[in-house]
Amino acid sequence: MAESDRKDVGAGRKVRLRVRRQDGAERVETKRWEEFEVPYLPQMNVISALMQIQKDPRTVDGKTVAPVVWECSCLEEVCGACTMVVNGKVRQACSALVDALAPKGETITLEPMSKFPLVRDLCVDRSRMFEDLKRVRAWIELDGTHELGAGPRESARAQEERYPLSRCMTCGCCLEACPQVNDSSSFVGAAAVNQVRLFNLHPSGAMNRVERLESVMGEGGVADCGKAQNCVEVCPKEIPLVDSISQVARDTTKHLLFGWLLK
Amino acid sequence: MASKTTVRSEGGKVRRVVVVGGGLAGLMTVIKLCEAKVPVDLLSLVPVKRSHSVCAQGGINASVNTKGEGDSPQVHLEETAYGGDFLANQPPVRGMAEAAPGIVNMLDRMGVPFNRTPEGLLDFRRFGGTLFHRTAFAGATTGQQLLYALDEQVRRFEVEDVVDDHGVSIPGEKMVRKFEMWDFLEPILDDSGVCVGAVAQDLKTMQIRPFLGDAVVLATGGPGLVFGRSTNSVICTGTAAIAAYKAGAVYANGEFIQVHPTAIPGADKLRLISESARGEGGRIWVPKDKADKRAANDIPERERDYFLERMYPGYGNLVPRDIASRALFKTCFHEGRGIFDEATGKNELAVYLDLTHKDEKFLRAKLAGILEIYEKFAGVDPYKHPMKVFPAVHYSMGGLWVDYEADARGSLKAGSPRNHATNLPGLYAVGEVDYQYHGANRLGANSLLSCIYGGLVTGPAVASYRQAMAKSAFDLPKSIFEKAEKRATDDYARILTQNTDAKAPENAYKLHEELAETMLRDCTIERDNKALDGVLAKIGELDLRVKSVRVTDTSQRVNQGAQFVRHLENMLVLARVIAQGARNRDESRGAHYKPDFPRRDDERFGRTTLAVHEQVGSVKFVRAFDYTCAGETVHVTDAIDTSLVTPRERKYEQAGAASAAATGKLGSEPESKSGATTEAR
Ligand SMILES: Cc1cc2nc3c(=O)[nH]c(=O)nc-3n(C[C@H](O)[C@H](O)[C@H](O)COP(=O)(O)OP(=O)(O)OC[C@H]3O[C@@H](n4cnc5c(N)ncnc54)[C@H](O)[C@@H]3O)c2cc1C
Ligand code: SF4
Ligand code: SF4
Ligand code: FES
């Protein structure tokens, strides 16, 4: 069963990939490009091309090399693992379909994201993003998991505002694309700021609104955003990041000006 | 002298419990442990926020009855037992059904953006195997939203200090330490067979080291990769469960593998289109004329065969998955009436899943997540065109055997150290990796529930176990851990170095393809004994050939090739458990269907399959065994506790057949033999 979907359409067609490789962050001398060619499969995405390289890692010049290393898990653009730079654009490799990228057999280039420490080949270390979730206290201060009845009532409209913000999969696209995120800045980036908005919108979450705002107020906070809007363009979940940034920026300003009155 | 339960051992180490897996089941367990003041080391193959639970789409069941339909936990219990074709022990199912409304409330308090009714209450939708609106949902990415909520709560404990017995914070020690991108290799057993930790490997540096744990909880999810492409994430190889099985843990009901009727094909994975599509009104059909070449939208209503509605008027498109997949297979494969594909000139194993009669705004509010997936990956607009779907391997009802202790009402006894304990003392299992709640067939939206309920139960069970254990892992001689570490290190070295000079070495990925092909063809929707003999012979052949595998990568850093060899070796062991279990079970029950034995045979097979590892290449099946939990010897048999819902034949042709209450025939509630203990299973 389910094998019947393996049609032989496009038999003989090849997919060509140019892959940026490096054995580890400190091993700059191993930085190189390698090119591979794999058979085309129907409904093929970049991940299935990489999987074929993994099975038989040989470059176009017939040299056997170590298989390309990358991260992936869900394969349906919901876990965020497979983020990389495909043809110069940061995105998820699992939803990068070969038919769309290379309809005429063009070469597809793959590079790791550049704003995170390199681990190997296309794999980078995004742990700073998870650390940032701690910094902005992206959670609700629950009394406990014991039975305490239902949560606060919420209108369908409020749910429709929160749900899209809550779909952030910590993929890193927004940080990769942001000019303000770089070696010489400590800017926390759009994803974490969006979490501040998300939790401040929730009736229980709002009880810790001030701590969350203060977490993005000083050095590297929301004020470092240069409003370039690159983030919102690359966010695969179409999260209204610029709105989130403006909202949080307004709230922090208000808190800065009038916060002491409320203390 | 530090007693076994002080926060720190004599040597100053914080006594921890190891939880492997950060999907819903693992995270919920961690939260419960932290609330019980037990510090945790949490290991996961991927950052826990990327665990497979993130894929779940449709929702989570709870009989909250906000629609005034008369739903109740009792009905939920009955329908789950009935849908599972009476293979599940019923007390845990009752516990789960009764806890469900509280669980959804808890998630609501955590901030999950569940869809709402106009009054601001939680909205519920329909799912398979029931006539009630019982499924709470957050768009069509419910699993993602639930996983994030639990992930956030665990992060709170990542910044919380461990306090010593005087209530003073211990500097640098947090309640939760995460080890993400680590692969669990094996449980560590002390000389008396008690599990006192785990050996794991850092997938970045490839360093192998032991983790001491007063108990180890496996929450490592399902094994879809045994079938190659499935709806599962690529990390779902079942390797951790098999490592435990090889160390002596019993594996139960392995042959029960759920095939989901509606997925879309892909070269790398079969992407699911959730049952919620049908829960919100989606209809399945094929053209009446099998040679019909028209586009779906050009085929008029009367020329369509809504075959599920025709065959099962009682539940229609929302029959349970085993039934829907079989009906689809019959229609497409046996009758040759699948959608005609011009490109291949054949009737494919494919049907239409049609939502085009629904209002677009309604669909966007409730199903956008899955319709996006269809649009992205199939390249067709599902708001305007019926989707083309296929069956795909989806879920394992079977898994590591775990115990439970029933209370006087026939529900689970809260806090018993036996709940979710495997037969290896100190080793627990929870989530899709256990076999406990779904019998021979899982109802949609019951898995997220069983994962979270399982976690709620496992946390306190482990806390009780710690109180009762004879000795803490942290007071044991180092040699036990060094030995385990050495064995694992040697085994890894073997993988890296074996067959380096071989003339015709095997390739692990190619062997995996061969395994998947045979499993998929002969061990899924329909099973035939001759074909299963072929599957077993093939697995035997692969068991030999896998010894000739040469690793494709010899690097010391992020060696995914070597990791895959290890997982493949374990997948072969699991494949045998599945196939041999299927071969032995000469009946049809839930997802296990043999045309030669089309009926359920309670007399011969109304029992749990219990598999015990002997050596690679053979499985032993037992009818009973003894194990020790917290100092008490428990006798376990393969008998099923059906004291709460009387087994009967499933008849989804009839509306309300799954529950007496659902037909309004209340009062026929089966008398509860609640005094019965679980001793006699
Ligand atoms: C596409 C899809 C949709 C679904 N939709 C629904 C739905 O709507 N409703 C529903 O109820 N159910 C649904 N299910 C089923 C449900 O999602 C899963 O059964 C459930 O999420 C399993 O959760 P878990 O916590 O047991 O494991 P997982 O979420 O699979 O997590 C396993 C964890 O274990 C870790 N792990 C595994 N092996 C190792 C190892 N060797 N070493 C270290 N760590 C390891 C992983 O990293 C991960 O953190 C769906 C399933 C699929 C595939
Ligand atoms: S809008 Fe701000 S956060 Fe977004 S890319 Fe620009 S600078 Fe970065
Ligand atoms: S906000 Fe969007 S781009 Fe940024 S991490 Fe989240 S999902 Fe990715
Ligand atoms: S693999 Fe999960 S987003 Fe691509």
Q: Are residues A254 and A148 in the same domain?
A: yes
Q: Are residues A138 and A116 in the same domain?
A: no
Report residue A263's pLDDT band, with 50, 70 and 90 as the boundaries: low
Give the chain B residue whose CA is nearest to the CA of A120.
Answer: B558
A75 lines ligand 4 (CB under 6 A): yes
Query: What was the ipTM of the complex prediction?
Result: 0.95
Give the chain A residue whose CA is nearest to the CA of B348.
Answer: A4
CATH of domain B260-391: 3.90.700.10
Task: Please name the helix (run of DSSP H) or strand (run of DSSP E) that holds residue B433, with its range, or none.
Answer: none
Find the CATH number of the domain harbouring A205.
1.10.1060.10
Q: Give the pLDDT of residue A100.
A: 94
Q: Are residues A116 and A159 in the same domain?
A: no
Q: Give the pLDDT of residue B397.
A: 98
Q: Are residues A107 and A160 in the same domain?
A: no
Report how many domains make up chain A: 2
Domain that holds residue A199: 127-262
Query: In this structure, is residue A85 part of a structural domain?
Result: yes
Rounded to two decimals, the pTM is: 0.95
Q: Are residues A100 and A133 in the same domain?
A: no
Give the chain B residue whose CA is nearest to the CA of A44.
Answer: B267
Say how many Å lie between the CA of residue A132 and the centre of ligand 3. 13
Q: Residue B257 in contact with residue B398, Cβ under 8 Å? A: yes
Query: In this structure, is residue A68 part of a structural domain?
Result: yes
Decide if B38 touches A, using CB distance below 8 A: no
Q: What are the tens digits of pLDDT across the range A66-121?
A: 999 999 999 999 999 999 999 999 999 999 999 999 999 999 999 999 999 999 99
Q: Are residues A132 and A251 in the same domain?
A: yes
Q: Give the pLDDT of residue B4.
A: 82
Query: In this structure, is residue A3 part of a structural domain?
Result: no
The domain made up of B484-613 is a member of CATH 1.20.58.100: yes
Contact between chains at B509 and A130 (C-beta distance less than 8 A): no
pLDDT at A2 over 50: no
Single out the residue in A124, A147, A181 at which a domain terminates.
Answer: A124
Query: In this structure, is residue A56 part of a structural domain?
Result: yes
Best residue among A51, A92, A123 to mutate for probing ligand 4's pocket (most ligand atoms within 8 Å of CB) is A92
Which of A209-235 are b and which e, b meaning 16 or more Cβ less than 10 Å from the residue's Cβ? beebbbbbbeebbbebbeeeebbbebb
Nearest Cβ partner for A55 among B46, B509, B557: B509
Helix (H, G, I), strand (E, B) or coil at A139: coil
Query: In this structure, is residue A66 part of a structural domain?
Result: yes
Chain B: closest CA distance from residue A49 (Å): 9
Say how many Å lie between the CA of residue B97 and the centre of ligand 1. 20
Contact between chains at A23 and B111 (C-beta distance less than 8 A): no
Q: Are residues A216 and A151 in the same domain?
A: yes
Give the residue from B224, B268, B233, B269 showing the smallest Cα distance to B48.
B233
Relative orientation angle of helices B560-584 and B508-522, to the nearest 10 degrees: 20
Q: Which one of 3.40.50.720, 3.90.79.10, 3.90.1150.10, 3.50.50.60 gives the CATH number of domain B17-256+394-475? A: 3.50.50.60
What is the C-alpha to C-alpha distance for residues B231 and B387, in angstroms, rounded to an integer?
A: 17
Q: Are residues A118 and A199 in the same domain?
A: no
Single out the residue in A94, A124, A154 at which a domain terminates.
Answer: A124
Q: Give the pLDDT of residue B2.
A: 52
Helix (H, G, I), strand (E, B) or coil at B624: strand
Q: Are residues A135 and A120 in the same domain?
A: no
Which of B42-66 are b and which e, b meaning 16 or more Cβ less than 10 Å from the residue's Cβ? bbbbbbbbbbbbbbbbbbbbbbbbb
B445 lines ligand 1 (CB under 6 A): yes
Residue with tokens 């990389």: A84
What is the C-alpha to C-alpha distance for residues B621 and B580, in angstroms, rounded to an integer?
A: 9
Query: In this structure, is residue A8 part of a structural domain?
Result: no
A188 lines ligand 3 (CB under 6 A): no
Give Dmax (Cα) for chain B: 82
Domain ranges for chain B: 17-256+394-475, 260-391, 484-613, 620-680
B57 lines ligand 1 (CB under 6 A): yes
Query: In this structure, is residue A47 part of a structural domain?
Result: yes
Q: Residue B502 in contact with residue B550, Cβ under 8 Å? A: yes
Q: Are residues A112 and A189 in the same domain?
A: no
Say how many Å lie between the CA of residue B244 and the centre of ligand 1. 18
Say how many Å lie between the CA of residue A76 and the centre of ligand 1. 14
Q: Give the pLDDT of residue A1.
A: 40
Low-confidence residues in chain B, pLDDT < 70: 1-2, 661-681
Contact between chains at B377 and A78 (C-beta distance less than 8 A): no
Q: Single out the catalytic residue among B16, B283, B321, B566.
A: B321
Q: Give the pLDDT of residue A9.
A: 46
Q: What are the tens digits of pLDDT across the range A122-162?
A: 999 999 999 999 999 999 999 999 999 999 999 999 999 99
B321 classed as catalytic: yes
Chain B: closest CA distance from residue A196 (Å): 13
More confident call, A206 vs A43: A206
| CA B659 vs CA A123, B213, B409: distances in Å | 51, 44, 20
Q: Are residues A104 and A146 in the same domain?
A: no
If 0-12 CB within 10 Å is exposed, 13-18 middle and 19+ buried, where does residue B479 land? exposed
Question: Which residues does a 6 A CB cutoff place in the pocket of ligand 2?
Answer: A 177-180, 190, 225-231, 241-242, 245
Q: Give the pLDDT of residue B199.
A: 98
Query: In this structure, is residue A194 part of a structural domain?
Result: yes
Q: What are the tens digits of pLDDT across the range B49-71?
A: 999 999 999 999 999 998 999 99
Helix (H, G, I), strand (E, B) or coil at B167: coil
Q: Are residues A160 and A185 in the same domain?
A: yes
What is the C-alpha to C-alpha distance for residues A156 and B208, in angstroms, rounded to an integer?
A: 50
Single out the residue in A74, A96, A124 at which a domain terminates.
Answer: A124
